[in-house]
Amino acid sequence: MNVLSEILFQFIRRFLSFPLITYIFKFFKNNRTLFSWRRDKIESNDGKNKFIFTLTNGTLRINSLSQNDTDIYELITYNSDGIRLEVWTLHLSIQGKKNFF
């Protein structure tokens, strides 16, 4: 499990322990909604196949990870009235050299 997945897993595990309070969560990159979840399903996924979220284990997979994915990501939870409950911020920095074969 990569670092981003582990952080999201910790959050989602906590998130799922309050099912009567938390109703919606939205995941953002640079103020753009990547996907939103309501009750038991993903409602929108603007990242298409780039970002794949698995609710059962809290894994967020970023396909074709590159330095362009370095950014600030936010996960925001809301109750059923749309009132913001929590904001989690993740600073993701992709480092390393490209390998050319």
Phi, psi of 12 (to 5 degrees): -65, -40
Task: Count CA atoms closer than 13 A to 62's CA, side-chain side.
Answer: 18
Given this model, what pLDDT does residue 1 score? 47
Separation between Cα atoms, residue 90 and residue 4, nearest integer Å: 8
Given this model, what pLDDT does residue 26 score? 85
Given this model, what pLDDT does residue 60 score? 73
CA 41 from chain centre, in angstroms, equals 14
Given this model, what pLDDT does residue 97 score? 73
In 1-101, which ranges are E strands?
24-29, 32-38, 41-45, 51-54, 59-62, 71-78, 84-92
pLDDT tens digits, the chain, 101 residues: what are they? 455 555 666 666 665 555 545 578 888 888 888 888 776 666 666 656 777 777 677 677 778 888 888 889 888 888 888 889 888 888 888 887 766 66
Given this model, what pLDDT does residue 29 score? 85
Given this model, what pLDDT does residue 23 score? 72
- CATH 3.10.450.350 corresponds to the domain 3-92: no
Q: Which residues contact 12 (CB under 8 A, 6 or more apart)?
A: 55, 58
